[in-house]
A and B are shown apart, each in its own frame.
Chain A
């Protein structure tokens, strides 16, 4: 199956700093990428949907100025958590869909963010 990678897998940063997380589709072109946030023992919360070359669509309640998403190419999307605070600590997972109209999402391995 298709492979999606995420980097870094774990990151610890100080409060007030920014952190960038990369999501790459390794063997296919991702027309659409999704960013999720997951709290311990909780479900996947969709943060935003991004299509290559266009602005991301954010879900209600997600601050677009705080969670910057850039989908620069068909294989790379980045999520930047700006001015991170301890409450931003979470597990962030991206996923990608290949050809338009396809059903299946391929998830990245996730990034554990800890803000101290």
Chain B
């Protein structure tokens, strides 16, 4: 099955700095890579996603890059703000029986210090 590794497990930055979270996956058939943000005690929220036919996607301060050859993808947050503090999960998924079932990374706890 798919195996997703996520690093770092904890990331502490100063407000205004950039933050980068990296994930690797093992199944070359995976073709959809979402990123979720989860605040304490709340549901995971999709913040950005990328499909395998695209190398990079950007949405304001958030960007995701994908290297299919190396099987890794990264989340980049620029100009971090205290409200960006949360746990971020990457996931890799492929179609199985018509549904995309993701395999999640272990999560990265991002702390943005004001």
Contact = CB atoms under 8 A, between A and B. Distances in A.
* Residue of A42, A51, A103, A110 contacting most chain B CB atoms (<10 Å): A103
A104 B49 contact: yes
Chain B at the A interface: SS class = strand
Given A42-B106, A93-B43, A110-B43, A100 B89 contact: no
A94 to B, nearest CB: 10
A44 to B, nearest CB: 5
A43 B104 contact: yes
Contacts of A67: none
B49 A103 contact: yes
Interface residues of A, number: 23
Interface in B54-108: 87, 89, 93, 95, 98-107
Interface string B34-67: 1010000111111001010000000000000000
Chain A at the B interface: SS class = loop
Contacts of A68: none
B107 A105 contact: no
A46 interface: yes
A32 B87 CA distance: 25
B67 to A, nearest CB: 20
B48 to A, nearest CB: 11
A102 B105 CA distance: 21
Interface of B: 32, 34, 36, 41-46, 49, 51, 87, 89, 93, 95, 98-107, 109
Given A31-B99, A46-B101, 13 more contacts: A41-B87, A43-B89, A44-B44, A49-B99, A51-B99, A93-B44, A97-B99, A101-B99, A103-B49, A105-B100, A109-B43, A110-B41, A110-B43
